[in-house]
Chain A
Amino acid sequence: MKKTIFIIICICFICAQTKVAAQNNSSVNLDSVQLLPVRTANDLKTGNWQDVLTNFFQLGLSDLTGNNRAFNFKSSLFGLKLKTNPSLIVDTNYVKHSFDRNFQFNFSLGIDSSYHLNGYSAGFTWAAINKRDTTLINLTKSKTESVWAAAAAKFPQALINYRIKKFAKRTSQDSADAIMAKQAVSNMMKIGKFDASLLPNDFTAKDSINVIQAVFDAYDSAKASTMQMPLLTFTFNTAFSKRSSFDSAQLGFVYLQGLTKKGNPLELDLRANFRIKDTAVNNDRYRSVFTSSGGMNCVLIKSKAQASILEFKPYVEYDKIISGLFPGEKADYFYANADFRLRVTQNIWIPFTIKYDVKAGNFLGFLNVSANFSALRGLLKY
């Protein structure tokens, strides 16, 4: 019964995550304005990056089939403030809240194998450097702006003059052509792809329309370049047991830097983390561990819309146990790892890790991954 309820809750949260991620700023109403979900930017982000810095809200489940399940919630400060002041989404206000947009907090509730609350944790992540915010791309001082301004001065007049000429003929076909031309241009602006063949044959100002495609291409190029810019985040988290006694604390940083401007994205990924954990029941001994890793995140498969579908991250990891060594345990470890991340839906990624202990010559994690999926299949049989 408890397993059934847990599965139902999991499914609800998975659905809620998609809905919440889709709602982020669309839960804001400005009079009659209903904002659309921030999908385009998220589509183009690699899953690696989405884990590091959320957009507005993110719900998640971790270790579904293990003994330490957790429900996680993340939000940026901006997302919270937006709930009480929807006008913050307007551009003139939006740009003034850089810190709020780059500071996120998180908390999670842990559930043990008996489905009892067994602890909670809270923390924050601060993007000290975030050059990847595509919502702040500004090309108004570039050559693209002058091309755009020149085109925008011509094509509306061309459309209106075409409409006046066609309406003057007073036939239903001519009126339909005029309306169709305007609608075609509106649709092409919306999707960002210009096709002169969609315009009526007697529409003569097609050159001014085609120039706009170059403007869209420049904007897309700017977005792709922005996605490769640096991101540096600092994270602090602390956890407590269900009796509110200290369990652990960790401090870490993540640095991501794109290395390619064309082709499939390749990203440098550097991380370091220091964690201290209370491991004792009867004494005050703490265990402290330093973990560091460095590798590359590669996008292997992209969709036609250039959204990342499958990613691969090979990386090396060095772990140093500074204090609290268990009897017989080594003080340091060196791993060669590989992460695979598969995008299942627009906002849900499934990651799994293979670890190779270089010193011991053992593969770790591979069997766990298989067992987890088998256990998940077992849970779903009811």
Chain B
Amino acid sequence: MASATLTVTVNGGIPPLSIQVGLLKNGTPVEHFGQASSFTHLFDDLEANNNYDVTIAGFNPAGGNTSLSISGTGITLTPISDTTPSEQDGKGYFVDFNFNS
């Protein structure tokens, strides 16, 4: 079994709306939740030999930014994945970490 740890850190204020996180396995939603502030979340029990997407969408506080990173055991980021760590400025962001387990 593989696992992945997602870390999202909001800087310079609080996110005005929740940070929305989704886990999809081969395009099928597995898990979805929202968080109101910086957090770390463990996706465990990732089945081997599958392709996963961890999507994160959110808004930055005025003038602030958000840093995102993913790490884990038994996972390999694919070439189409956003890089990790990722620093997102601007008004909002949408990040997709795509990996094979």
- In angstroms, how far is the closest chain B Cβ from the Cβ of A348? 18
Q: Does A171 contact B (CB under 8 A)?
A: no
Give the CA-CA distance A191 to B13 in the complex, in Å: 18
Max count, chain A CB within 10 A of own CB: residue among B63, B85, B92: B63
- In angstroms, how far is the closest chain B Cβ from the Cβ of A89? 5
A30 contact from B13, B67, B88, Cβ within 8 A: B67
A91-B38 contact in complex given A30-B11, A135-B64, A219-B59, C-beta closer than 8 Å: yes
In the complex, what residues of A have CB within 8 A of residue B38's CB? 90-92
In the complex, what residues of A have CB within 8 A of residue B17's CB? 139-140, 144-145, 148, 215, 219
Interface of A is mostly: helix
In the complex, what residues of A have CB within 8 A of residue B91's CB? 40, 189-192, 216, 219
Give the CA-CA distance A28 to B24 in the complex, in Å: 34
Q: Which of B50-65 contact A (CB under 8 A)?
A: 53, 55, 57, 59, 61-65
Contact with B along A217-237 (1 / 0, CB 8 A): 001001100000000000000
Give the CA-CA distance A155 to B95 in the complex, in Å: 12
Contact with B along A135-162 (1 / 0, CB 8 A): 1111110001100110011011101110
Q: Which of B77-97 contact A (CB under 8 A)?
A: 80, 85, 87-96
Interface size band for A: 35 or more
Max count, chain A CB within 10 A of own CB: residue among B12, B14, B55: B12
In the complex, what residues of B have CB within 8 A of residue A331's CB? none
State whether B53 touches A160 (Cβ < 8 A): yes
Contact with B along A155-184 (1 / 0, CB 8 A): 111011101100000000000000100100
B27 contact from A92, A160, A219, Cβ within 8 A: A160
Interface size band for B: 35 or more
Q: Does B18 contact A (CB under 8 A)?
A: yes
Q: Does B4 contact A (CB under 8 A)?
A: no
State whether A152 touches B57 (Cβ < 8 A): yes
State whether A91 touches B14 (Cβ < 8 A): yes
State whether B87 touches A160 (Cβ < 8 A): no
Q: Does B75 contact A (CB under 8 A)?
A: no
Max count, chain B CB within 10 A of own CB: residue among A94, A95, A155: A94
Max count, chain B CB within 10 A of own CB: residue among A92, A136, A152: A152
- In angstroms, how far is the closest chain A Cβ from the Cβ of B51? 9
Q: Does B16 contact A (CB under 8 A)?
A: yes
In the complex, what residues of A have CB within 8 A of residue B67's CB? 30, 32-33
- In angstroms, how far is the closest chain B Cβ from the Cβ of A142? 9
A42 contact from B18, B32, B63, B94, Cβ within 8 A: B63
Closest to B88 in A: A190
State whether A219 touches B16 (Cβ < 8 A): yes
Q: Does B37 contact A (CB under 8 A)?
A: yes
State whether B20 touches A152 (Cβ < 8 A): yes
A135 contact from B14, B89, B94, Cβ within 8 A: B14
In the complex, what residues of B have CB within 8 A of residue A323's CB? none
Give the CA-CA distance A222 to B11 in the complex, in Å: 20
In the complex, what residues of B have CB within 8 A of residue A25's CB? 11-12
State whether A153 touches B9 (Cβ < 8 A): no
Closest 4 CB pairs of A and B: A135-B13, A190-B90, A152-B20, A38-B63
29 A/B residue pairs, CB under 8 Å, sorted by A: A31-B85, A36-B64, A40-B91, A91-B13, A91-B15, A134-B13, A135-B62, A138-B14, A139-B16, A144-B17, A145-B17, A148-B17, A152-B57, A153-B22, A153-B32, A156-B55, A156-B57, A159-B96, A160-B53, A160-B55, A160-B96, A161-B27, A182-B94, A189-B94, A190-B89, A192-B91, A192-B92, A219-B59, A219-B91
Q: A134-B13, A189-B93, A190-B88 are in contact. List 10 more A-B contacts (CB 8 A).
A: A30-B9, A34-B87, A40-B91, A91-B37, A155-B57, A157-B22, A164-B26, A216-B91, A219-B17, A223-B62
Interface of B with A (CB < 8 Å)? 9-18, 20, 22, 24, 26-27, 29, 32, 34, 36-38, 53, 55, 57, 59, 61-65, 67, 80, 85, 87-96
